[in-house]
Amino acid sequence: MARKLPQQISAGELRHRVQIVKPATGQQDTMGGVSADNRSQWTVVLACWASVEAWTGSATLAANQFIASASHWITIRHPRTFVPTAQMKVWFRDFTNKDHTFQIEAVLNPTEQNKLLVLVCTEIDDSAAANG
């Protein structure tokens, strides 16, 4: 069964505090990108309440290591001052105090009325970098 995009959202559904971040000006690594695991290279552009929902998940074996991938929908009220882009990330700390980082893949405006946005994201698993 296909999942439908939300057309509206109640305040009670926005129970996760998130931060939308963009690369800090002039911060790039040697490959021309910004390191995802160095939070000092990112600037918070919006802190807001959201609904964070797992959408899909998978695990693949590559180079003798399992690589997990999880896609999420993050629904927020339309910020009106700017629209998040695919160059931005979302930071989220869950109820167990685990930090999550999501790469924004697409930004959807389901009703085209600028009331809410659905951020289609892929979770960045930085546990390998943190563990060694």
pLDDT digits (tens, 9 = 90+) for 72-88: 999 999 998 889 999 99
**Cα separation, 107 vs 79, whole angstroms:** 13
Strand partners, 125: none
Structural domain contains residue 119:
yes
**Cα separation, 89 vs 23, whole angstroms:** 9
If one counts the domains in the chain, the total is 1
Structural domain contains residue 47:
no
Structural domain contains residue 50:
no
Structural domain contains residue 3:
no
pLDDT at 50 over 80: yes
Region 25-39 average pLDDT: 56
pLDDT at 31 over 50: no
Structural domain contains residue 87:
yes
Structural domain contains residue 80:
yes
Structural domain contains residue 52:
no
pLDDT of res. 65:
67
pLDDT at 124 over 80: yes
63 phi-psi bin (left φ>0, alpha ψ -120 to 50, beta other): left
Higher local confidence (pLDDT), 82 or 4? 82
Q: Which domain holds residue 65?
A: 57-132
Structural domain contains residue 21:
no
pTM for the whole structure: 0.76
Nearest CA to 104 out of 116, 125, 118 is that of: 118
